[in-house]
Structure 1
Amino acid sequence: MTETRTAILTFAENRDSFRFAELLSYLNGLFEISKVTLSWYLREMINDNIIFKLGRGIYTAHKVQTSEYTPRLRTKAVKVGKIIARKFPFVSVSVLDGQVFADFQHHISSNNIIYVEVDRDAMESVFHSLKQEGYTAYLNPSKDFVYDNIDLSKEGVIVKPLISESPLMDFKGVRTPHLEKILVDIYCDDDLDYLHGSEWSRMFDNALSMYSVNRTAMLRYASRRNAKPAIEKAIENLGTHND
């Protein structure tokens, strides 16, 4: 295993970029290796941030210059998070501002919804509490309900279940998702159906080209959401969706 990884890295470091077929030909001049086995090695080395993917079948050993994702929450979103934390001190809470989706979208659309995720058994209590505070709130709405009844351009709060071991970070005293969680949740959540399909693929490409992403953490979380194969495929197809 070490010999194969070393040979891949030696080949890669002497080039700005390389194609899968070029690497396969080179390695087979040293020892026998199949396409399937090489794909596995590349995937592992990508997850370890040793090899980086530039596009479909195109790789590099030189780190692509990206920045760390910095969360962004409106003052109103922070306020919602702090209200919930104060009223429900023992409930895990995550707050996401729907406006951040535009940062990655191909076809930009308005979303002023604040997405609140809490422990499943606390969802209903949090929902009613937000209603009492005067917020337009929705309890874990279905895809059809969102299309028929929610104007995403208007302010509101959607309360949803929080998946255990979600990757979260602090922002002004409120817990908010890491980029890895945002990308997986957009793919999985019915209430975000308007971002599914080719739009999500482009968002995924855009996000990974703009920001540093911990692919191991993203795949671990995707496994908890039964979406690991889809996310692995999206990584494999990086760079093939943008116009």
Structure 2
Amino acid sequence: MHTTIATDKLNIDKIRNNFRSGKSFDTKDIVAFYQELDSDIKQTTVNWRVYSLVQMGLINRIGRGKFIIGKKGNFIPDVSPKMKTIHHKLIKSFPYLKICIWNTSALNEFMLHQPGRFYLLIEVEKEATQSVFYFLKDAQYSVFIEPTSDLLEKYAPREKESLIIRSLVSEAPLQSIKGINTASLEKMLVDVFCDDVIFPSQQGAEMRTLFLEAFNKYSVNENRMLRYASRRGKKESFSKYLNSISNLRQNIKLAANL
């Protein structure tokens, strides 16, 4: 099962406007909020939305059924026309396909040095990777499947963007934007940590910068990241890295207060 958050249905901006920062509210207030938008909404739907809002850090739980607005918003990457077109083609030809599509250019917001080449990542269930690869190749896209670093270096065209087909890890933390399943910030960060083939430009000091900026600007759910890192077999090493980032953030705060 994949963890998908339908951000377009959560009415995030209206939530922030309706509930004042610093003032607590409870579950019945959230129910009333969503009932104003949809009088037929089910309690189970509201419960799921509350869970999603908490997981995303948009609201913080301060007690049983008590909440406050989170301090930081959720990262919502751009969905380009090219992503929409490819997603539409895939869903039309593979109606039951579980897919995540995102562009490595989404990471530029957090980076000091901007890479000149980007990859449009199309992640699907392992058994569908070959079919999707040949489908997109027949559609005249420049596409690779689970490439090695040597393959990308030697054969990736010098154009700005290439498509890469990868296996979608089960229970990956996704989010739905305008009906398109794309990566959450938590997934992006873990992927950068775990994969230096697709993300060579985001390693070393650049990765530290990326993580620091992401944590400073947006709400990041560490538990979700650790669960996903565990699915990728990297929980222990990723946990250590998160601790180092946490310590670095504390040191930066202390230095700023001197």
Q: TM-score, normalised by structure 1?
A: 0.69
Equivalent residue, structure 2, for 1:225: 232
Larger Rg: 1
The structural deviation recorded for 1:90 is 1.5
Residues 64 and 232 of structure 1, relative CA distance in 2, 3 Å threshold? farther
The structural deviation recorded for 1:154 is 1.8
The structural deviation recorded for 1:194 is 3.0
Equivalent residue, structure 1, for 2:75: 69
Equivalent residue, structure 1, for 2:149: 143
Equivalent residue, structure 2, for 1:156: 162
Q: TM-score, normalised by structure 2?
A: 0.65
Gaps of 5+ in 1: 1-48, 51-62
The structural deviation recorded for 1:217 is 0.8
Alignment equivalent of 1:172, drawn from 175, 178, 184: 178
**Separation of aligned partners in 2, 1:174 and 1:141:** 24
Contact residue 68 and residue 212 of structure 1 kept, 8 A: yes
The structural deviation recorded for 1:212 is 0.1
Alignment of 1:1-243 (within 5 A): 65-151=71-157, 154-189=160-195, 190-238=197-245, 240=248
Gaps of 5+ in 2: 1-59, 62-68, 253-258
Aligned residues with identical type, % of pairs: 30
Q: Deviations over 1:138-175 (max 9, x none)?
A: 11101222223325752221101100011111122210
**Separation of aligned partners in 1, 2:85 and 2:177:** 12
Question: Which structure exhibits the higher relative contact order, with contacts defined as CA atoms closer than 8 Å and separated by 6 or more residues?
Answer: 2
Q: Deviations over 1:88-129 (max 9, x none)?
A: 112211001121111111211133321100111110110110
Letter in 2 for 1:112: F
Letter in 2 for 1:122: A
Alignment RMSD: 2.5
The structural deviation recorded for 1:205 is 1.2
Equivalent residue, structure 1, for 2:46: none
